[in-house]
Amino acid sequence: MADLKMPDVNMVMIAGNLTSDPSFRRTTNGTPVANFYIASNRRFKDNTGQWRENVCYVGIVAWYKLAESCYENLRKGSAVLIDGELQSRAWKNEDGTTKNVVEIKARRIQFLNKRQATDSDELRDFPADDDLSSDAPQDTGSSAGTSPDDDDAGDDFDFGYDEFKL
């Protein structure tokens, strides 16, 4: 019997609401990156027929123009649909303890709220490099998949998956 080779598939699609405003920073080489968490709710009926809700909190990282767009347009409570892949990172904090995180590296983000322009809307300026929080996890470069790829920077929100047809 021939060996079956499994395809390398790492795809995540999730919808939810931001739990806080996105953070924004630039890497040492100037690449924009935004981080935020979403809460994704799942409603279901339990064995007694009662409706229950399960909430899953997921970290999201966006790079390049997608990061800038997230920082400019998203706020706490914004609804999003995210297409991306899982990635894991490890780093050492100030006391030398190794920390690990599994998060979604966004390929595409669909903003689900309708934008309503009002006089009270404020434009968000990108923070200067010295204004950025230094407590964000720093990439050690040791884990695979942590550096952004040029093809992840697209603004195309077509969620078609023709490339995955078998």
Return the domain boundaries, the chain.
Answer: 12-142
Read off the pLDDT of residues 38-93 as tens digits, 9 standing for 90 and up. Answer: 999 999 999 999 999 999 999 999 999 999 999 999 999 999 999 999 999 998 99
Q: What is the mean pLDDT of residues 133-142?
A: 40
Q: What percent of the chain has pLDDT over 90?
A: 61
Confidence of residue 124 (pLDDT cuts 50, 70, 90): low
pLDDT of res. 161: 45
Note the pTM of the prediction, 2 decimals. 0.67
Task: For residue 110, give the nearest of 138, 130, 82, 131 by alpha carbon.
Answer: 82
Q: What is the mean pLDDT of residues 11-20?
A: 96
Of residues 3 and 90, the one with the higher pLDDT is 90
pLDDT of res. 115: 66
Contact 57, 37 (CB under 8 A): yes
Query: What CATH superfamily is the domain 12-142?
Result: Nucleic acid-binding proteins (2.40.50.140)
Contact 3, 17 (CB under 8 A): no
Cα 2 to Cα 5, 161: the distances in Å are: 9, 28
Helices (H) and strands (E) in the chain, counts: 1, 6
pLDDT of res. 127: 52
